[in-house]
Structure 1
Amino acid sequence: MAGMNSDQLHRSTLGIYSSLMDEFNPSLQKLVSLGNSYVQAFKALAVTSEAYFNALSKIGEKAFHTASSRSIGDILIQISEGQRRLTLELEGMFHWFSREILQQMDTNVQLDRDFLSGSREQYKSEVHNQAAALERQLRRGTSQDSSEYVQFLRESHSQALVEEERRYRFLAEKHCNLIQTIAQLMNKTGGGLQQRADAWMEEVGATRRPEPRRPSSPDHTLGRRKGEEIRRSKEEPELGSIPSRAPSPQGSISRFSMDSVGGGYLGRSMRALVAHEPASSQSTLLPFSRGQIITVMVQQPRNGWFYGRTDSSSRQGWFPGSYVEPVDDPPQSPSLRNSTLRSNNSMSNLQEHSGTGSQNVAPPPPPPPPPLSSSSSKHSETRPMATAPGKRAESKSEHKQRSPPPGRPELFPRGTNPFATVKLKPTVTNDKSAPRLYRR
């Protein structure tokens, strides 16, 4: 801007006015229209979701009164209630979006049209007056001083840039608040809903009864074993010769069960209870010290031996299963797990999470504003649409408005600028005590 002459400054300032009036404001108005369509689309989705999960709840009620599927019916009813609560939370978020973003953008666009139009006319009039004054000085033959005129063009251009930046910042901050609100809603409901969904899935799976095994012919059994050996040989790397039965650690009692858990041991981490130090000639065995972590690389133990590698080296080999213990906690018994799930996921527990009922769920509040400094916390806004919740205090350079010379109109008066903030005189009081009531 320092290298621009008076004509370039004038054209650039008029270009900023045109950009805001002919591009930004129409785009903002279109955004408001699209946002209203977005809200209406969600309302239609909420109605369809309500009908769907009501039908699911009715099916769950029928299952609840059967002799075989009472627990499954209870889960279906809980799922329907959980979805209904989630829909109500989303309705509250969309209500906030419509009130705090769409309505404020629409109001600001309507006010900004007249504001920018009046400001541009004042700017053009002042430029015309000062240019005419310079021309009169030239006709009189007096030395013309254009420094005041150029200074006016520079200040006007600088103020126009500030106004352009203020409008784009307003739009960005509004939608940052929208993302914060969505994130708060996800954190509020997402984690709990995921836990309940996992618990429901496990409880439904617990009702599955094992199917009786059919006796198979010897030829079929032999063929199946050969097929499994071929498949295992293709899937697993060359492991070397399998040692004989694994020894027990000296002076220690093994706490590790050899039963398969969760379909096998492949990929599980084991902690060494004692050191395993095979002879150097036994290259297929894996040495390790006490406390080391070993990753298992086979599905099932063979002759009491596992095949794996230590995390601290790339060496692989066989090691006795009695020398290690699993790192993760042992799984709960099915009876204990089912009783825990049933006690934690009943209808009453779900209703406690939903407050006083699904019909009285309040919409999520807008995100709280970030902590302000001591100087900026004393300032508030006089126009309701000036800033979004949690808006940062504007920089000091924006608050400092140069007072125009006497007789010159202000291009962007803050009292009527829909995108500007105004400093208010803070109210100070030293009395923070509660009022005292005297009864006679």
Structure 2
Amino acid sequence: LSLSLSLSLHSHTHTHSWNSHTQHIMTRTITMLEERTIMEQFNPCLRNFVAMGKNYEKALSTVTFAAKGYFDALVRMGELASESQGSKDLGDVLFQMAEVHRQIQVQLEEMLKSFHTELLSELEKKVELDARYLTAALKKYQMEHKSKSESLEKCQAELKKLRRKSQGSKNPSKYNDKELQYVETISSKQSELDTFIAEGYKTALSEERRRYCFLVDRQCAVAKNSSAYHGKGKDLLTQKIPVWQQACSDPNKLPERAMLLVQQMASGSSTLLSSPLHSSKGNLVISDPIPGAQPLPVPPELAPFIGGGLGHQGVSETRTLPRSSSMAAGLEKNGRSRVQAIFSHAAGDNSTLLSFTEGDIITLLVPEARDGWHYGENEKNKMRGWFPFSYTRVLPDSDNDKLKVNLHHGKSSSTGNLLERDDTSLPMPDYGLTARLLAQSLTQNRPRPYSMAGFTQVHTHTCAHAKLRS
């Protein structure tokens, strides 16, 4: 009976040991393969993905730069159109187009920023840290696995010794209890090793899944910004395109102001100057009154040019100019006017305004002030924007025939009280509402007033136009 029990234990232990050993080797191999897959396949592929992403980012940045130049040129076309009596409304449309596409471009830049910070940078950091982490984790797993395996193998070796001793003994039954203890210990250690290997395999699969989840999550963040970019573009263009198409639907239809001018020229009753396009004194520009605007007194020098032309000699000094044109006289000439700051002005957080200090020289980039605001470039720092015209004075010119207008004392509700007002709203430039009586030739030889150096500055002008017209 004792011999039969011993043989049964030996056979069971040997079979269990062989099966467990085979399973243990297979499971351990699978676990090691999973971890090595992350290190030798996933991480290299992720590095390649990041490299391709950087190439994509660089290409989009190049497109962004080209777009800035393209819409800078579109602004210039709008400026030319705004100087034409027959196409002034199309100039406004071109300004709106440039502004809408500037907003879309800003959204694209936000998407690019998200692509870089939320995807590429995050993945690049992860892949570098991951290589060190996985190396340490794999080394730890191998050490623990080796320790548990050696402990199991030691018990199996002790059992073999005991069985050899039992087989050579005259009384083998005395070893049965000890052999049973070894069998139970081996079974326990084998179970512990199997559990360890299974947990290691589960951990390896989880680590791999976590990495793919992170990649998908980062890609979702970029997709959200991409959706916002395309959504904003769709909303803006859907709203504006019908209006733009309507503006150019009939090329032969001239605006009412142009038709009135044609009729007046045909009747010979609206001659403002004997030779308006070649006058040495330049053209006087009187814009339409703004609804609700408070009129300003007309300087005696300008009185003959208001209303019926030079033939009206009975115009008194109490005639008024619209508020938007009260400071326009003296600025229209063959070349650009320059003014000098007599007060300092801070733009604050408003990117459309121009900051300057007392004494700075500013080159005017548009022909007229609007509601007391003018647009120009500070010659000291080359920044451009809108500024309160009453803060400046026109620099004297060598041409004694040029009209002189006191810009500082010509106050209106929008200029005279600027120093007392706490809130200064966004200046509203006007190309579409200013009634230019004749096409100007002033800009034929002047350099363009915008630069590709800063896209935000390039389109500051058009931003104000789009807000006015919309």
TM range (shorter): 0.3 to 0.5
Query: How high is the TM-score relative to the length of structure 1?
Result: 0.46
